[in-house]
Structure 1
Amino acid sequence: MFEHIAELAIRRSRLILVVAVVAVVAVALMGVLGTGAFGKLLGGGYDDPASSSTRAGKVIDAKFGGETNLVLLVRASEGRVDAPAAQQRARALVTDLRKNQNLENVISYWDTAAPDLLSKDGREAMVLAHVKGDDTERGENAKSVIDAYTGPYEGALTVQAGGGAAVTSEMGTQAGEDLVLAEGIAVPLTLILLLLVFGSVVSALLPLAIGTIAIVGTFAELFVLGSVTDVSVFAINLTTALGLGLGIDYALLMVSRFREQLAAGASVDDAVRRTVSTAGRTVAFSAATVAAALGALLVFPQYFLRSFGYAGIGVVAIAALSTLFVMPALFVVLGHRVNSGRLPWANRGQGRSDTRTPFWGRLAGTVMRRPALTALPVLAVLLLAASPLLGIIFGTPDERVLPDDAVSRQVSTVLREKFNGSDDAALHVVIDQPVSKAPLESYAVELSGLKGVVRVETSTGTYAGGRSTATDPGNTALGRPDAQQINVVSGLPPKSGEAQSLVEEVRAVAPPAGSRPLVGGVDAALVDSKASIADRLPLAVALVALTTFLLLFLFTGSVVQPLRALLLNMISLGATLGVMTWIFQDGHLSSLLGFTAQPMEVSMTVLMFCIAFALSMDYEVFVTSRIKELHDLGEDNESAVTNGLGHTGRIVTAAACLLAVSFFAFGTAELSFMQMFGLGSGLAVLIDAVAVRGILVPAAMRLLGRHAWYAPGFLRTFHGRFGLSEGGPAQEPTAELATGSPNVKDSTHV
């Protein structure tokens, strides 16, 4: 297959390039690069659509005007908000809000005189509302309402917006700003690093071309998928980081190999053939391992996670395909001009046939001679870095992921500090069938007696401390002939351990006979989301491990190598996640990075695990392929590892640094969970490239000895027929390899 690709590139190079350019331009003109893709994507997506909390929300939307997801905090410019002048203007505001077609279920202090909607000092009061629409429409509708009604009002009032809809709206806006800033940092730095690595302007631009195609193509994919299913807007961030990084990774291999072949005296056509048959095969195999790891995200019901699976698989496939087809065509057209624009420092070493890097070879040799002495300190540091995982706590995004000056976050702080519980954070119990008054009252009384509950609101009255509040006749809007809604308002911090325990306690209370209540609200959604991910996580991990094992077996012919790779990758990932827990949950470096410590975002932690694992497999293939080739040529285990790392060490490190830049750029994000994703993914790449590939791999190979390549006889036979290697299906060494022809990952400059 790869020989055919090379011949196609040689015969039809200009046609391939024209098709590629036309496709990129067409996608841009369709608006995918502007608002097209963004307009199809959604905010949110953290909840399981089949969970009790999600179903409760749907019943409330259908029968009770929707859950409260917008809180307008109204503050009097002078005095109290219930003073006559302030009341008059506040009532006018509420009247305007009820006329707004994007809102329903508008409730205010001035209508109900409910003391819980008035702050303790009387300076602020709440207007509660439900913003209509699905996740996309709700964000747009919330922004429209916020823009229209917040700020100074009638000179006597100031209005600020909070609640879930406001938080989601601000998160979407902030994500776009973070993306622009991150790419503004990553692209120039990447270009500088490429110039340093290649020493040639033309060679440095080629990987950027592949990265651009990967990003644009994946935007088109997300545009199409967003038209038929739910896709998270945050998939855009992964697309840009991974597209740029993997495009550069794969192109780096191809460009390095092509330049090496030219330096060895090959013709342009022969250099293309050899490059595609070796580096192209490695790119295809590496892409398969990365895509398999990212495919595990598709098993989760939350579309936030599935969206990263869509984006990740798409960007890997497009980066690999463009590398296999577009890059060889560029080589044919450019020929020796691939080295054009050579920079002064690049002259040294050009034309070398032996491109081993002494440092990496010496390091591997030292480790192989003293594996325990060199590996144990590294292993101890990685295990120490992983130790914070013992105290990890999971959560979902809320207003605390926003910067301190975000309005919706400031409103949440005021509600928590100045009000006696907030309906915005209440548990909403829904009974989707008729319920008599007496059983409903008995159920509400029992709920109101639970620890932490401030009050329970029903259509029959308000209850507190295990008894009825006689002065409150109840909210008739909470009752229908065929359904009842019960609001359980607590004074507990939202998403705290106590608040999550209260969800379980509410669900454990015996309901009215014959009924099956659904419990919703932000705390219930968190409990259900964690349970849903925990239920699917073993399947996701099993799929990742199984596909990785099978692919690495096909590549190496050994059953030990996949196990060794899985074990070392888990240690590396544990260290990365432990460091992120130490920083973002425990709060270390919070003042430097400007975030608020909080539980680890459960979806982002799972995502970071899959991304980091996938990328570690990328470098596993790069390194193992060279070691395997040398081993097949007859070198002993120690020599194969030492020489293999000598050939691949620098290029893997260069690729890792370039990829890490793309991720580290998101460390500048204002959204703390995007900071965590960027810093964690970048750190994982560097740990894997340096500590694992440079030290732990040679140490493990030395300790395993000849057993490193063990496979049962029947599997050796299977691999002999169907296995893959950098040179093609498993086979005896070719004459070209026997003469020491350099490997795909070598480079005349890298």
Structure 2
Amino acid sequence: MATFLYKLGRLAFRRRGITALIWLLLFVLAGFGASSAGTAPEDDFALPGTEAQQAFDLLEERFPGQSADGATARIVFEAPDGQKITAADSREAVDGVLDGIAGNQVEQVSDPFADNAGVSEDGSTAYAVVDYKVTSMELDDSTRDAITDVVDKERDDGLNIQAGGDALMVEPDMGNGEIIGVGIALVVLVITFGSLVAAGLPIITALIGVGIGISSITALATVLDLSATTSTLAMMIGLAVGIDYALFIASRYRAELTDGHSREEAAGRAVGTAGSAVVFAGLTVIIALAGLAVVNIPILTKMGFAAAGTVALAVLIALTLVPAALGIVGKRIYGRKVRKANPETGAPKASDHDAKPNMGTRWARGVLKRPVLVLVAAIIGLGALAAPVASMELGLPDEGSQPTDTTQRKAYDMLSEAFGPGFNGPVTGVIDATEAANPQDAADEVVARISDVDGVVSVSPAGFNEAGDTATVMVTPSTGPSDTDTEKVVREIRDLSSALQDETGAELYLTGSTAVNIDFSKVLDDALVPYLALVVGLAFVLLMLVFRSVLVPLKAALGFLFSVLAALGAVVAVFQWGWLAGAFGVEETGPIMSMMPIFLIGVVFGLAMDYEVFLVSRMREAYVHGESAGEAVVTGFRYGARVVTAAAIIMISVFAGFIGAGDDMVKMMGFGLAVAVLFDAFLVRMTIVPAVLALIGKSAWWLPKWLDRILPNVDVEGEKLYRQLAAAPAPPPTAGEERAPEPTGVR
């Protein structure tokens, strides 16, 4: 592989104009496709194989005229203190408000005073449901404004009016996260490279890759049924790894120039060595993201594949566009001071570069002196950070988790106070009575049995479809939708299903947002172990190919577990416990989103393996070229620590920028990924890894002979490449490029 990538790097460098033009054309074509694409569909929260999905499908089949696809809004009215909403003047005011909401997109508006069905027992509060003909994403601004105008208008009648429902949902505010992250990345790169041109190169190439990826997702949205949120993960991951991969190639290129190679030769060697690490690091990320398909939740599958495709683009750009860009910038890859001191080559001399030990060398030597102390301290620290995981509560956000100053949250609280906490999370029961001797009697028995369940406040009478073979009931629990007691109620009702079918011939299914959330969490819990086994297993084999070792991949996997547990602990402390919540803009604490653990595991595993491959592959390269195990660790840190540190800071900055997003899920994702990279890069890869390698010595590179014969040798460290280069005459430089003295030995 190293030999092939070496040739690819030289070709891209030599044909830099054509290479850059091809990528720019792809960028323009993808942008054109995105600009001419239709509106992206809404998120598909289907849960194949779950009871909630079965019930929903049954409703679609048996109640075709009652589609649940349209948006809904709930307008909540509260009378002034001491007054009744049913008073004549209040009723007149409510009717006037509801008349003003009518519009072309409105299907119907319920009357809260019809049989007082929408009025609380104490008469202080009433609500009306507005059904729309289109989905929330298709609502016109004027239609949505009609609702918000009602809420914002100052009223003389003293009514407190608030609104909730998915009709008020808009695309999440992503904030300026990516801009902030790119800005910090530029500063870090300037400090790392000492050149504005060198600092801008990884950012520009990464933005081109992300631009192509996001534009392609947008262009294919209607064809592949990709929602607007599908690209969120692709943007976060693509931008971070795109900058990192370009950084590693550019850094290795500068190191090769320092060793005296011509610019074309340096580009070939950089892509042949660091490029091999980029390929395998990218593969681990792609495996982790594509592996989300194991969960069998369409939205996660689409997000995973979209992000995996963007990572693949980042790898291709690092192998082709980056060496081409290096050829375009020429000597400006170094700062003016270096070019002035070395006008002939434009690169510093190796003797100047190695004049004194850098920070990475000093750090590695310090860890190697006291590996046991360092290892124990790091593990204790990560263990303390992971402690909050023991009290983690999982759930999905609802309007009760919105900030208290929003109209959705105010409407939610008003309904909870007036009608009970469970009113905001009713459970829909679907009764399939096609096999029942008497469907009505069967439905009545189901309602009676559900009413006897502890925690159930009320059950509505069964409402049949036109065929009379299927009915629906609304079950109102005594607790809120995210309460653990509500989950117990749902499970207890579901436990009745088998006995009810035997007694009445009718089958009972539960659905609705509360039941969907419960099933969603269960699907994720059940998929966690298979997902871990698949992703870690495939990556373990991949790392054995890279390092020709058993213990190094094992150490990498165990280190990842420390990182992800510590990151989840930090997420629980901030978003559930409320520690430092204000500092991170968390306005309302609550359960951790159900998808967060498996999402964090998938993404962090791929990113953790990035640093493992980049740092340890340099150690492996030094060991293969004759250094002792301890010397190889120091060499790996001398050449890799500065770059890995810069890459980690960049990735942390990119992810942390998304903490400013308005959407709770994006905010939590950004925070979780940022702290996970922080812990993994600095506590695991930069601390635990050298300590463990120091303790196990040359055993780190042990591989059973029988396994060595089975595994193909992909030559990531470039051993074969260096032998070929040492034996072959130096290739001619590019036309117009001066030849630097070519070293013939192996470094």
Q: TM-score, normalised by structure 1?
A: 0.87
Q: Distance in 2 between the 1:3 and 1:683 partners?
A: 35
1:193-592 aligned at under 5 Å gives the runs 193-339=188-334, 350-352=348-350, 354=353, 358-420=358-420, 423-434=423-434, 436-459=439-462, 481-509=468-496, 510-511=499-500, 513-592=504-583
Matched to 1:560, the amino acid is L
Displacement of 1:143 in angstroms is 6.5
Q: Distance in 1 between the 2:16 and 2:53 partners?
A: 53
Displacement of 1:215 in angstroms is 1.2
Percent sequence identity is 29
In structure 2, relative to structure 1, the CA distance for the partners of 1:457 and 1:259 (3 Å cut) is: same
In structure 2, relative to structure 1, the CA distance for the partners of 1:635 and 1:299 (3 Å cut) is: same
Contact 1:722–1:729, Cα closer than 8 Å, also in 2: no
Superposed CA RMSD: 3.1
Match of 1:140 among 138, 141, 145: 138
Q: Secondary structure of the equivalent of 1:70?
A: strand
In structure 2, relative to structure 1, the CA distance for the partners of 1:77 and 1:58 (3 Å cut) is: farther
- Consecutive unaligned residues of structure 1, counting only runs of 5 or more, are 460-475, 743-750
In structure 2, relative to structure 1, the CA distance for the partners of 1:345 and 1:666 (3 Å cut) is: farther
In structure 2, relative to structure 1, the CA distance for the partners of 1:69 and 1:530 (3 Å cut) is: farther
Q: Distance in 1 between the 2:405 and 2:336 partners?
A: 47
Q: Secondary structure of the equivalent of 2:184?
A: helix
- Counterpart position of 1:748: none
Deviations 1:31-53 (Å, cap 9, x if unpaired)?
A: 45xx958x32534x455143211
- Counterpart position of 2:6: 3
Contact 1:447–1:456, Cα closer than 8 Å, also in 2: yes
Match status 1:87 vs 2:91: yes
Displacement of 1:403 in angstroms is 3.0
Contact 2:402–2:409, Cα closer than 8 Å, also in 1: yes
Displacement of 1:479 in angstroms is 7.7
Matched to 2:164, the amino acid is G
Q: Distance in 2 between the 1:346 and 1:451 partners?
A: 82
Matched to 1:612, the amino acid is V
Displacement of 1:327 in angstroms is 1.2
Displacement of 1:554 in angstroms is 0.6
Matched to 2:716, the amino acid is S
- Counterpart position of 1:473: none
- The worse-fitting range, judged by mean Cα deviation, of 499-508 and 2-11 is 2-11
Q: Distance in 2 between the 1:257 and 1:71 partners?
A: 59
Match status 1:665 vs 2:657: yes
Contact 1:69–1:424, Cα closer than 8 Å, also in 2: no
Q: Distance in 2 between the 1:7 and 1:253 partners?
A: 17
Q: Distance in 1 between the 2:648 and 2:341 partners?
A: 21
Deviations 1:357-412 (Å, cap 9, x if unpaired)?
A: 53322322232232211210111111121122122221112224533322212211
- Counterpart position of 1:151: 149
Deviations 1:441-485 (Å, cap 9, x if unpaired)?
A: 2221221122221111014xxxxxxxxxxxxxxxx5778612100
Contact 2:450–2:493, Cα closer than 8 Å, also in 1: yes
- Counterpart position of 1:53: 52
In structure 2, relative to structure 1, the CA distance for the partners of 1:214 and 1:77 (3 Å cut) is: farther
Matched to 2:58, the amino acid is V
Displacement of 1:3 in angstroms is 3.4
Q: Secondary structure of the equivalent of 2:49?
A: coil
Q: Distance in 1 between the 2:548 and 2:381 partners?
A: 32
Q: Distance in 2 between the 1:507 and 1:540 partners?
A: 27
Contact 1:400–1:596, Cα closer than 8 Å, also in 2: no
Displacement of 1:61 in angstroms is 4.8
Deviations 1:552-585 (Å, cap 9, x if unpaired)?
A: 0111111221111111111121111112112212
Matched to 1:162, the amino acid is G
Displacement of 1:123 in angstroms is 4.0
Q: Distance in 2 between the 1:440 and 1:386 partners?
A: 49
Q: Distance in 2 between the 1:29 and 1:648 partners?
A: 40
Q: Secondary structure of the equivalent of 1:454?
A: strand
Q: Distance in 2 between the 1:729 and 1:549 partners?
A: 24
Matched to 1:263, the amino acid is T
- Counterpart position of 2:718: 727
Displacement of 1:269 in angstroms is 1.8
Q: Distance in 2 between the 1:568 and 1:326 partners?
A: 33
Q: Distance in 2 between the 1:456 and 1:209 partners?
A: 60
- The worse-fitting range, judged by mean Cα deviation, of 594-603 and 62-71 is 62-71
Deviations 1:492-535 (Å, cap 9, x if unpaired)?
A: 11121000111011112243522221101222112111121122
Q: Distance in 1 between the 2:401 and 2:339 partners?
A: 46
Q: Distance in 2 between the 1:607 and 1:159 partners?
A: 38
Q: Secondary structure of the equivalent of 2:127?
A: strand
Q: Secondary structure of the equivalent of 1:74?
A: strand
Displacement of 1:346 in angstroms is 11
In structure 2, relative to structure 1, the CA distance for the partners of 1:145 and 1:515 (3 Å cut) is: farther
In structure 2, relative to structure 1, the CA distance for the partners of 1:159 and 1:239 (3 Å cut) is: same
Paired residues in the alignment total: 708
Contact 2:105–2:132, Cα closer than 8 Å, also in 1: no
Contact 2:33–2:216, Cα closer than 8 Å, also in 1: no
Matched to 1:426, the amino acid is P
Contact 2:412–2:424, Cα closer than 8 Å, also in 1: no
Displacement of 1:225 in angstroms is 4.3
Contact 1:401–1:595, Cα closer than 8 Å, also in 2: no
Deviations 1:18-40 (Å, cap 9, x if unpaired)?
A: 122222223333445xx958x32
Q: Secondary structure of the equivalent of 1:458?
A: coil
In structure 2, relative to structure 1, the CA distance for the partners of 1:732 and 1:705 (3 Å cut) is: farther
Deviations 1:225-261 (Å, cap 9, x if unpaired)?
A: 4223343433333233222211110111111122233
Contact 1:641–1:698, Cα closer than 8 Å, also in 2: yes
Match status 1:65 vs 2:54: no
Q: Secondary structure of the equivalent of 2:190?
A: helix
Contact 2:40–2:227, Cα closer than 8 Å, also in 1: no
Matched to 1:125, the amino acid is A
Displacement of 1:146 in angstroms is 3.2
Contact 2:282–2:315, Cα closer than 8 Å, also in 1: yes
Q: Distance in 2 between the 1:714 and 1:730 partners?
A: 25
Q: Secondary structure of the equivalent of 1:40?
A: coil
Matched to 1:384, the amino acid is A
Q: Distance in 2 between the 1:237 and 1:638 partners?
A: 42
In structure 2, relative to structure 1, the CA distance for the partners of 1:320 and 1:102 (3 Å cut) is: farther
Q: Distance in 1 between the 2:103 and 2:76 partners?
A: 19
Q: Distance in 2 between the 1:212 and 1:541 partners?
A: 31
Match status 1:161 vs 2:153: no
Q: Secondary structure of the equivalent of 2:113?
A: helix
